[in-house]
Amino acid sequence: MEPSAAMREYLAEIYRLQQDSPTVSTTSLADRLNVSAPAVPRMLKRLKSAGYVKHVPYQGVELTDLGRLEALTEIRRHRILEVFLVQVMGFTWDEAHDHADALGPGLNDTITQRMAEMTDFPSRCPHGEPIPDETGNVSEPQDIGLISLSVGQKGTFSRVRTHEPEKLRYFASLGLVPDASFEVVGRAPFNGPMRLRVGKDEVVLGIELAKSLWVIREA
């Protein structure tokens, strides 16, 4: 059974949510997809019937191998489209996600491949997330959350894990973008703000903003 655009959207979101939790609840799916709570069980029933998800009693759902493959295919299309929107069409990284959501249902593998060719076969989206290959393989970055670092540690930003335009614009204004180098120069106790040196500037980040930043720590 070929999944519909709505089914692909659900599968991709389940995959994203499973990056932080082995199983996904109906509540978290409804919140992330901005749909009504009753709509989620109906779609999950369709996905389960098609063999894309399985139910874990008292916990939620998780992708099957087939569901994971379909999810990664959809994520590949979405992330390549984001790169195309930024590199070719001139949109900013805070605009790319919403436009990709709107245009994504019309994509197929042929169009996706042409966009990949036109953007020199990117390995990451504008936000630093890895792009799966054509066979559904994805190389997850060996990164960690910025909030786990201590004063004196250095590294480079790998991913910005938010699609909120205001936050992305703010991060860009501070130079907190993938591949930028930094050093933790201060940290208040009890989950207080972090102070970073980015280039010649010092940046102070509250803990909620810091949670969106993932980094490759310098050895």
3-class secondary structure per residue, 157-188:
EEEECCCCHHHHHHHHHHCCCCCCEEEEEEEC
Query: What are the tens digits of pLDDT across the range 34-62?
Result: 898 889 999 999 999 999 999 988 889 99
Give the residue numbers spanning the domain of 118.
1-134
**Is 116 found in the same domain as 45?**
yes
Structure tokens at 195: 């102070």
Tell whether 139 is covered by a domain: no
Reported confidence tier of residue 219, pLDDT bands at 50, 70, 90? confident
Compute the mean pLDDT over every residue in the chain, rounded to the nearest whole number. Answer: 94
Reported confidence tier of residue 64, pLDDT bands at 50, 70, 90? very high
**Is 152 found in the same domain as 71?**
no
Give the integer Cα–Cα distance in Å for 107 and 9. Answer: 12
Mean pLDDT, to the nearest integer, of 8-25?
Answer: 93
Domain count, the chain: 2
**Is 126 found in the same domain as 43?**
yes
Reported confidence tier of residue 180, pLDDT bands at 50, 70, 90? very high
**Is 112 found in the same domain as 23?**
yes
Query: What are the tens digits of pLDDT across the range 114-166?
Result: 999 999 999 999 999 999 999 989 988 899 999 999 999 999 999 999 999 99
Total-model pTM: 0.91
Give the integer Cα–Cα distance in Å for 55 and 166. Answer: 36
**Is 42 found in the same domain as 3?**
yes
**Is 192 found in the same domain as 150?**
yes
DSSP 52-70: SEEEETTTEEEE-HHHHHH
**What angle do helix axes 65-87 and 109-118 make, rounded to 10 degrees?**
40
Q: What are phi and psi of 202, to 5 degrees?
A: -110, 135
